Amino acid sequence: MNTWPKNKKFAFTIIDDTDNSTIENIKPVYDYLTSKGILATKTIWIYPPNDHYSGSSLRDQNYLEYIKELKLNGFDIQLHNVGSGKFKRDTIIKGLKEFKLILGTFPKIHINHSQNTDNLYWGYKRHVFPFRLLFGLIQRNKSFEGEESDSPYFWGDWSAGILKYTRNYVFNDINTLKMDPKMPWRDTRKPLVNYWFSSSDGHSLDEFISLLEEKNIQRLSDEGGACIVYTHFASGFVAEDGTLNQDFKRAIDLLSKHDAWFTTATELLDFLVQNQENRTVKYPYLLRLNTKWLIHRIIKKIKFKK
């Protein structure tokens, strides 16, 4: 059982990745969260995608103004790489500087995006033996080089200098902190990431609704835990006619009635860091995380066919 600010029973936040986001397909979601007093962390791209992904970036003036509005309303704006696709070092650094110029500070949270070559310690590199070996064979044709100093996609020195948290594992359980009780943690073998953290899987609408079932929220409250839902609000939460999904509204209505600390991911992670001194983890802990993560991925594959 944890002690949360204002003696709240549990902590709750959402990270919304920017993939395919437009004002039209996310604004109804954020409007509803605002009406219920629930905060979230929204990641953004500085540059438009240069691959098969779609979605707005800070180069879109209307979208930029909307992101500024979200920030003023208490939402947390963070980084999902500088864009989707291939971006080399000079462009990445320029993008990070633009982020600070536009939003007032450098990002504190980074979420590796999909197959970007500039991802940090991604693919098989995120795992420990024997999972590292297994996924190295499976992903041998995929290259992630953000931490490799001899790569044109290297920006790990900037990561170490300005970023505080980078997301790693995702679990099906609503109590993220129960799955990863030492988060945010350090891994001395990955020195260019300051802290890693985990999240709970609400990837798209179906997973989000399943995660926020009443029994799960009640258990999270009973356990006094913390949930960082990882999702994509552009993935089916809003219909083409602009209507917000009713199941989502019901889930948020139920959640909002609980005595929870509704905060941003940055504030929650900062709170956890301040309240536990030893944040460096060793191989046995990482092996347990890897094992749980793989089991949860298999269960998700069976349940959601994803």
Q: What local confidence, expressed as pLDDT, does residue 169 receive?
A: 97
Q: What local confidence, expressed as pLDDT, does residue 135 receive?
A: 87
165, containing H or E segment: strand 165-171
Are the C-beta atoms of 19 and 233 separated by less than 8 Å? no
Are the C-beta atoms of 84 and 51 separated by less than 8 Å? yes
Q: What is the pTM of this model?
A: 0.96
187: left (phi over 0), alpha (psi -120 to 50) or beta: beta
Question: Is 151 strand, coil or helix?
Answer: coil
Average pLDDT of adjacent 10-residue blocks, the chain of 306 residues: 90 98 98 98 98 97 98 98 98 98 98 97 95 84 92 98 98 98 96 98 97 98 98 97 97 98 98 87 97 96 87
Q: What local confidence, expressed as pLDDT, does residue 1 receive?
A: 59
Q: What local confidence, expressed as pLDDT, does residue 172 receive?
A: 97
Domain 10-304 belongs to what architecture?
Alpha-Beta Barrel (3.20)
